[in-house]
Amino acid sequence: MIVVTGGAGFIGSNLISGLNKNGFENIILVDDLTRTDKIKNISDLRVNDYLDKHEFLSALDRNQLGTVSSIFHLGACSDTMVSDGRYVMENNFTYSKQIYEYCQEHLTQYIYASSASVYGANTVFAEHPENERPLNAYAYSKFLFDRYVRSRDADKKSQVVGLRYFNVYGYREQHKPKMASVAFHFYNQYRKFGKVKLFEGSDGYANGEQRRDFVFVDDIVSANLYFMNNPDKNGIFNIGTGQCRPFNAVAEAVVNTLAERDGKGSRTLEEIVSAGEIEYIPMPEILHGKYQSFTEANLSQLRSVGYTNAFASVEEGTRLYVQWLLKNDAEEACLACH
């Protein structure tokens, strides 16, 4: 049996899809389905059972799950702007510890989602405590659990892997509203308004040139499956492309993929800006001092444990994602007509 917490969410539903493609269907999907918009993420997935996130903890305490080989812990409060720190810590830190203790007692693989947000405003993105300076409650909860895992390293009895995701984008994130990827927002802005909005320059970067390590969700799934299939690998690892790209590059890729759909040719960034299809707006006051203008995963540690897969470029991943969004929008429109 495999457990995926947050299984109806963005990365969780893609992971279950990846497990299904590799022949795994004996899966318990754990999530909070109070918001039913996540049902769309899981309607095509093959799982054996569902548990509410609170029922899951109770089942752990009572040893009611049977034999569990692996737990992928992806469930969390991922809104970096939430002001209720107690809620964030309970969901992201305390919950994660309870699963950790179960996995150690039952010799179960534990692969959990950490976050590149733990690095805060730092510009060195290697998995060392001295590089970690969280700027908000979400980042702090991830930082503290990573610290907890490290403190137990000498005593662990089974595999424990923390994966620090950088800026993930891709399929099945439409339920996330404001926390969805910029690729998703750019796609919707362009289709609705004929232009996309990026932040004006900040922290020494020109308009739209703030840089992030944008990683396609298929690559996230591949990394999770690698560690599941290599239970001797332990540690905390960055999962990104290892190459930062400007937000302008994502906007350019979205606009050109949509233009391709309409039978038009690709244009340069300068041509798109000149046509008024990119608008630069001031950064909201609420983000001042909490915004990462630069991220770039150091992949040395990931490569050192034998993970050799290449990562999709922004152009490759965005093109696939926009094509998927167009297909799904068309299918929904067709269903609405019937």
Q: Active site includes 87?
A: no
CA distance 238 to 244: 13
The distance between the two most distant Cα atoms of the chain, rounded to a whole number of Å, is: 63
**Residue of 166, 239, 245 lying closest to 198 (CA atoms):** 245
**Which one of the listed residues 95, 119, 138, 171 is annotated catalytic?**
138
DSSP string, 171-226: SS-TT-GGGS-HHHHHHHHHHHHSSEEEEPP-TT--TT--EE-EEEHHHHHHHHHH
Q: What is the DSSP letter of 233?
A: -
Tokens of 280: 């630069």
* Known active-site residue 176: yes
Report the amino acid identity of residue 236.
I
The 3-state DSSP class for residue 136 equals coil
Residues 6+ apart with CB under 8 A from 165: 11, 113, 114, 115, 116, 215, 220, 239, 240
Instruction: Pick the catalytic residue from 53, 176, 195, 197.
Output: 176
Angstrom CA distances, 8 to 5, 45, 60, 151, 162, stand at 8, 10, 20, 31, 20
Catalytic residue ranges? 138, 176
